[in-house]
Amino acid sequence: MTATTNRSYHAPGGLERAVIDLIRVGTQGHGAGVRQLASRLMRSVPAGVEDAESFRDAVHRAIAAGSGGTELRYVAGTVPTESDTAHPLVDIDPLPDGDGLVLSDEAMGQLTEVLTERQRADDLRRAGAGLTRTILLSGPPGVGKTMTARWLARSLRLPLLTLDLSSVVSSYLGSSGRNIKSVLDYAKSGPCVLLLDEFDAIAKRRDDDSDIGELKRIVNVILVELDRWPDTSLLIAATNHPHLLDTAAGRRFDRSLTLSPPAREQRLAILDYLAADLGGVDDETLALAAELTSGMVSSDIVRLWSLAHRRSILNGSTIGNELLSELARHLGDSGAGRNRLFLAMRDRLDMSNRQIAALAGVSHPTVASSIKRAEEDRNGR
């Protein structure tokens, strides 16, 4: 089984949750947060709203009518800025959105454990066991590392502070150590989730002699902070290249979690979640798409879906058909998946063998024999 968050506004009780979230962000005086929530409500109209179209319109008009609004401090103290440019060093998201996160049971189990620890913090502290304060998230691009940080922050009802180490290290190397220290101090000053994104950036340039002194200092600053990070906040470091990290650095985290490209059931869960938003895509098409997206990472699947969605609107077709057509265009293999796809295109999209052949870039006899094999498989021969 795979888990998805149940916090979607589409789910029953969505309207109530939206109102509560709005109050929470509004009372904190965070204009940007309210606007962000409003655009999320337009994207994902809550269950309980009768006329989605006029709801979107009204929300849109309300946002437009609002004045510029001022950014408020979220955590105690002033947001640290780069000294020369006054550019904020850290991105603050008061209401991060991790809806629809799908991970393996193992990964989701670990995240749930982190949440349970926080619910039972008193028990753990009393027993002297302590909570998970720091997490190292590894995995290839597009598997959901940043999204996992958003999901955790959202589940813990904490703001998410993001520091992109690659940009800090590349643009202000001379003062990086100081800048990073000021962000870490700021994040420690109030409960929040701090994401150190592109964490390997501090390891990457080790070979470059001119930078080595400064980078060593940065690594030391962070290692010291990891050891004394307060359990009121959660520090998450994300990296695509865990092998670049010092093994010593890796071991300093309370938990280390590796995210992998989605297996078939997770690909299906992602597609199911996306389809639930819009409806109208049948289970068979979703199952076929889940099979044919083998090898894709989660972000590829979401992108593919968005493409199909846009095309379905422009072409007056259905998302399911656009999804299958797009997959046919990029199908490299000639296995059972392709056979079934061709069969589905003929039967459900009403396409001729020639049309399928042109779309998939194969000859039409190939299409004919693929379809024949799919029919034989279907009939259990």
Ligand X SMILES: Nc1ncnc2c1ncn2[C@@H]1O[C@H](COP(=O)(O)OP(=O)(O)OP(=O)(O)O)[C@@H](O)[C@H]1O
One of 155, 176, 285, 298 touching ligand X (CB under 6 A): 298
Site for Mg ion in 128-147 (CB under 5 A): 145-146
Choice between 146 and 293, CB closer to Mg ion: 146
Question: Phi and psi (nearest 5°) for 129?
Answer: -85, -25
Judge contact between 135 and 237, C-beta under 8 A.
yes
Q: Choosing among ligand X, Mg ion, none, which partner's interface includes residue 299 (Cβ < 5 to 8 Å by kind)?
A: ligand X
Choice between 146 and 176, CB closer to Mg ion: 146
Token reading at 120: 């039972």
Judge contact between 224 and 230, C-beta under 8 A.
no
Q: Mask of contacts with ligand X, 224-263, x by CB under 6 A?
A: ----------------x-----------------------
User: Which residue's CB comes closest to ligand X?
Assistant: 144
Q: How far is CA 208 from CA 49, 215, 223, 249, 299, in A?
A: 58, 10, 21, 19, 33
Instruction: Work out the burial of residue 71: count CB atoms within 10 Å of its CB; fewer than 13 is exposed, 13-18 middle, 19 or more buried.
Output: middle
Residues 6+ apart with CB under 8 A from 134: 226, 229, 234, 235, 236, 237, 252, 253, 254, 255
Which of 99-126 are b and which e, b meaning 16 or more Cβ less than 10 Å from the residue's Cβ?
A: bbbbbbeebbebbeebeebbeeeeebee
Choice between 195 and 374, CB closer to Mg ion: 195
Using rule CB under 6 A, residue 299 touches ligand X: yes
Choice between 148 and 370, CB closer to ligand X: 148
Using rule CB under 5 A, residue 148 touches Mg ion: no
Q: Smallest gap, in angstroms, from Cβ of residue 102 to ligand X?
A: 4
Using rule CB under 5 A, residue 298 touches Mg ion: no
Q: Smallest gap, in angstroms, from Cβ of residue 302 to Mg ion?
A: 13
One of 95, 270, 327, 359 touching ligand X (CB under 6 A): 270
Using rule CB under 6 A, residue 147 touches ligand X: yes
One of 142, 159, 177, 242 touching ligand X (CB under 6 A): 142
Stretch that binds ligand X, among 83-91, 145-153, 313-321, 328-336 (CB under 6 A): 145-153
Report the interhelical angle of 336-348 vs 353-360 (nearest 10°): 130
Q: Choosing among ligand X, Mg ion, none, which partner's interface includes residue 143 (Cβ < 5 to 8 Å by kind)?
A: ligand X
| Spatial distance between the Cα atoms of 372 and 361, rounded to a whole number of angstroms | 18
| Interface with Mg ion (CB under 5 A) | 145-146
| Interface with ligand X (CB under 6 A) | 100-103, 139, 141-147, 240, 270, 298-299, 302
